[in-house]
Structure 1
Amino acid sequence: MKRSIAVLAMSAVLLSSYTSIPRQVSAAAQSVQSVLKGHIENGVNLRDKPSLSGNVVGFLKKGTDVTILERSSDYFYKVKSQDGATGYVSASEKYISVGQAATTPNGGGQGTAGVVVYGVNLRDQPSTSGKILGMLSKGTNVTVLERSNDYFYKVVTEKGKTGYVSTSDKYLEISGKVAGPSPAPAPAPKPELPSSLQAKVDLVIKAGKKYLGTPYEYGSDRNTTTTFDCSDFVRQAYRDALGIVLPADSRKQGTWIRDNGTAVYDTGSLKAGDLVFFMEYRGSKASSYQNIDPNNQRITHVSIYLGNGQMLHTYSSSSGGVRIDKLDGSWKYRFLYGGSVLK
C-alpha cells in the first residue's frame, strides 16, 4: 500500500513537471514573436535622445536590420542595432520600415486593439482638415493609443504609422475602453542666450561640430538632420545654437549677409563664426581663376569659418559629409566674400 502511494506521488510530480514544459516554451516563443524588427531604408543618424537636438552617437547604413524597442514619440523609434548599440532614429518611412506596430511609452506600451470595419482615412491631426496620410482598408488591425477628442482616435498601424481616424463605430471596432489624451507637459523654460558675441559664436561652432561626419545629400530635407547639403548645414548650426533661422539656400544666405551689412571681401578679414561664400570649382590652380570678376559669379557653396584658416562645412558624398578643412588652395581661389550673421 505504501509503495503504491509513493508511485502515485512520484507520477504526479513527473506529470506536473512534464505539463509545465510546454507552457514555458510557449511563453518563450511568445516573447520572441513579440520582438519588433526594423529595416533601415536610407542611412540615418542614431541619437542619444528622441530629438533632433540629441547627440549623434552613430550612423545606421542602408540595409541595416535593428530591433525596435519602442516608439518614443511620433517622430522617433528607440532601437538596438546588431552590434548592441541603443539609441533613437527617425520614425519616417523614408529611413525605416517596420513589420508591425511599435508600442508607445505612454501607458507602459499599452493600447486598445482595434480593427477597421469600413475603409477610413488616416490623418495627420485629429480633424477633418488634417492631411490624409493614407487609407486604412477593411480588416486592418490597429492599436488605439487615445481618444484625442469626441471625433478622432489616435492610432498606430501594424506598419508603425501613427495618425488619427474617426471614432464612429461605422469605421472602427475596438476591444475595450480608450483613455483620453495625456495632459500636455509644461513647456521647458527657454534657455537664456549669452550676451557676449564670442559666447554666441562658440555656441554656433559647438552646434556645428556635433554633426561632424553626417552624410552629404544635395537638396537635403530642411526638417531633418540625417543628411545635409552646405546651406542646410550652416542653417542648422545657427538654428540649434541661437534659434536664428537663416534662408534655406546659399545664394539667399549670401544676400542676407550683404543686406545685414557685415560682408567682407578678403579672407584676412574673416572672423570665427562668419559664413564664407564661394564660386563654382574651375580647377585647383590659381590660373584657372584669373580674369574672373567675383562680382559676376554665382554662389555655389557656403561654410562656417572657424578661425586660424579653418572652416567647417560639407560639400560632397565622397568627402565624408560634414568636415573641417583649411581655407587654402582652390577654396581660397574660389572665395567671393564672407560675413557675420551676428552684430
Structure 2
Amino acid sequence: MLKGTKAIGMLAAGIVLYTGMTVSATGTGNAPVPSAGVGEILEAKLQEEDYLAAAEEAKVERKAVYGFSNLGIANVNDYLNVREEPGEDGKLVGKMSKNSGCEVLEIKDGWARIKSGKVTGYVKAEFLLTGQEARDRADKVAADMAVCNSGGLRVRQEASTESPVITLVAEGEELEVVEQLDGWVKIMLDDEEAFVSADYVTIAKKLDRAVTQTELKYGKGVSDVRVDLVNFAKQFLGRPYVWGGVSLTNGADCSGFTMSVFKNYGVSLPHSSASQSTMGTKVSLAEAKPGDLVFYAQNGRVNHVAIYIGNGQVIHASNPRSGIKISNVSYRTPYAVKRVLSQ
C-alpha cells in the first residue's frame, strides 16, 4: 500500500493508477502527471513484500523442522549449564548437551536467556552458536527422530505385530530412526535396534533439548555419599558412548559407566548389566533413592542399566549418538531397581 498524504488523496478520489497512465493535475486542469513513478513504487513495494513473505515462510519452515525460530546451539564438548539467573552463582535448573538446540530469547551482558525443552534460564553466550552458524550446525547434527504420539507405545523385536514386545515407551519420548519401512520404523532403543509401528509415531528432524536439572543438596534427606555419587556421575554428561568401554572421559557403555562411577565409592560391579542386576537389594521404583541402579530388559533379559539421580530421572550411557545422557526414568519400562549403596 502507498503511504503519505498524496497517496491518501488519490485513493480518496477513487483514482487507480497503472504504469504509463497520465492524469490531469488538480488545480490547473492542464499539466499531465505521469504515473510511471507510482507504478515503480508499487512494484518495489510488492517486491519488498514478496521478500518479507519469503523470509517469514523460511522462518516458519525452519521452525517446523527444528522447532525454533531464533535458534541457538550449545557449542561445547560435553554440556552447558542452564541457570535460573545470569551469573555463575545462579541456581542450576538444566543442562544442554553438546549440539542441543534452544530458542534464544535475549542476549545481554554476556548471558543468553533461552528456552529449551521444559527448561528456561540463562547460559553463557560465548558457548552458544546463533544466526547462520547455528543453522549450519543444526543442518549437520539434526537427526530423524520418531516422536511417540501414543502412550504405552509397543517396541517390538521385529517389524511384526506377532513379534514379542520388548518394552513400552511413554508418549512424547523421542527414538532415533535407523530406517523407515513399510508400516514400521526401525529405531535405536539405547544401543540395540528395535521396531515400532509407523501409525503411532511422527517422524521429524530434531535437535536434542535441555534436560531439567535439580542440584542435590547435602542434609536434605539424602546421604552425603549418594549426593557425592550423583554429582560425580553428572560431570560426565555428554561424554561418548563406546561399546565395551569403561572410561568416564573417553567412552563407556552402560555397565562400564555404572561400574566406573561406583568404583570411586568403594563398590565393585561387574562389567555387565545383567550381572549387575543380581547384586544389591531389590526396591520398588517408588522407593528409589539417588544412587540406586535402574535396570531395563528385553523379553525378561536385562540389557541396560542406569543410575537414578532423583526427581524421576536417570543418567546413563545410552548409544553412540547421544553418549552419556539424562532421561526420564520411565523413558522405557523399568525392569528392576537395585540398591547397592548401604548408606
Give the TM-score band, short-chain normalised: 0.3 to 0.5
Structure with bigger strand share is 2
TM-score by length of 2: 0.34
TM-score by length of 1: 0.34
